[in-house]
Amino acid sequence: MKYDYLVVGAGLYGAVFAHEAKAAGKNVLVIDKRGHIAGNVYTEKMEDINVHRYGAHIFHTNNKRVWEYVNRFAEFNRFTNSPVANYKGELYSLPFNMYTFNKMWGVVTPQEAADRIEQQKREAGITEPKNLEEQAISLVGRDIYEKLIKGYTEKQWGRPCDQLPSFIIRRLPVRLTFDNNYFNALYQGIPMGGYTAMVANMLEGIEVKLGVDYLENKAELDAMADKVIYTGAIDAYFGYALGALEYRSVRFETEVLDIPNFQGNAAVNYTDAETPWTRIIEHKWFEFGTQPKTVISREYSSEWKPGDEPYYPVNDEKNAALYAKYRELADKEEKVIFGGRLGEYKYYDMDAVIDSALCMCERELG
């Protein structure tokens, strides 16, 4: 056998493992079925602008170890995510904070805002939120739910809000202060020069083969290494034997515009039900771009079907139960470690993926 480890997938999980394994003196081969590294954090230049080809990625974390780790491979800028919500032409600040409440209700003080929310929550009669709709109303009241959450969420997940788990919305902060920073994280930024360069630095000196489909050449590839780190979809690994796990997919319509500024912000969410896209990303603002042109991507959310890119795991009860069964099969594969968003069927942020990879490295590499 030529390699200690075969790493399937050159995204963040695979790149972190490969880097650590090499540092521990192991022989590593990384493969990816795509023609490029960096998985879904891949960025590519268009009009001298780093375009997030598989959706916007804003690095944010409270985990100092992870922050210091990524800073070894890239310098991060001071980008702060402050998306704007566009509801039928009315603009609101996100996440939900005093600017949002002032625009929605004309309230001026935090007490007035809190009273409004409490009143709307009381009117809805919710004591223990059982689903996303009830969770949202009890956090921010019915007006904000109707204008800024319902349409967006139902487009994003393709399901009614009263059939979605409440944890999805708990990702978003609610603040009674004038603070448009979307994340509560202590550390935040975008790697200057793009994510692809950051991942390339992680993979420096490591053999990488692109355009190689593991599942199509499994026996031959398995024979090349003692162990496999598999970061692809867990159900695909088992040939969908127990059925397919559900994902939400996203289609991006990317356009170059011959103007310097289209929307004045990196992200504008379209929160009504009628606009077919969920949001528009204007990539240059992630890096305070001064280019003469601009590149925008409209995002359309759709149910995943074979052949599409899987993006968001649908973490409802049905899929969680199916994943648990695949997990049992995975635990029996002695030579293979499953990791990352697809390998663990988890709605992972980037920092959590890196943390999980580093923890696995400690167990595996000592």
Residue 288-327 contact track with ligand UDP, rule CB under 6 A, x = bound: ----------------------------------------
Report the nearest approach of ligand UDP to the CB of residue 56 (Å).
Answer: 7
CA dihedral 295, 33, 205, 77 (to 10 degrees): 30
156 touches ligand UDP (CB under 6 A) = yes
Kindly indicate which of the ranges 18-26, 169-177, 217-225, 288-296 contains the residues binding ligand UDP, using the contact rule CB under 6 A. 169-177
Kindly indicate which of the ranges 4-12, 26-34, 166-174, 332-340 contains the residues binding ligand UDP, using the contact rule CB under 6 A. 166-174
Report the residue number, 18 or 313, with the smaller CB distance to ligand UDP. 313
Catalytic residue status for 341: no
Of the residues 61, 100, 153, 231, which one makes contact with ligand UDP according to CB under 6 A: 153
152 touches ligand UDP (CB under 6 A) = yes
85 touches ligand UDP (CB under 6 A) = yes
CB 353 within 8 A of CB 12: yes
Q: Report the candidate in 244, 243, 237 with the shortest Cα–Cα distance to residue 336.
A: 237
Beta carbons within 10 angstroms of residue 184's beta carbon: 12
Half-sphere exposure of 289 (CA within 13 A, CB side): 28
169 touches ligand UDP (CB under 6 A) = yes
Residue 227-266 contact track with ligand UDP, rule CB under 6 A, x = bound: ----------------------------------------
Report the nearest approach of ligand UDP to the CB of residue 156 (Å).
Answer: 5
Cα dist from 39 to 15, 91, 114, 278, 313, whole Å: 10, 33, 42, 22, 16
Report the residue number, 303 or 331, with the smaller CB distance to ligand UDP. 303
168 touches ligand UDP (CB under 6 A) = yes
Report the nearest approach of ligand UDP to the CB of residue 150 (Å).
Answer: 7
Report the nearest approach of ligand UDP to the CB of residue 157 (Å).
Answer: 6
Report the residue number, 58 or 295, with the smaller CB distance to ligand UDP. 58
Kindly indicate which of the ranges 20-28, 163-171, 219-227, 253-261 contains the residues binding ligand UDP, using the contact rule CB under 6 A. 163-171
Report the residue number, 172 or 215, with the smaller CB distance to ligand UDP. 172
- Give CA–CA dist 100/145, Å, rounded: 12
Q: What angle do CA 169, 98, 125 make, to 5 degrees?
A: 50
- Give CA–CA dist 10/250, Å, rounded: 20
Catalytic residue status for 298: no
Catalytic residue status for 72: no
Binding to ligand UDP in span 90-149, by CB under 6 A: 94, 148-149
Active site residues: 171, 175, 248, 279, 299, 347, 349
Q: Which residues bind ligand UDP (CB under 6 A)?
A: 85, 94, 148-149, 152-153, 156, 168-169, 171-172, 269, 271
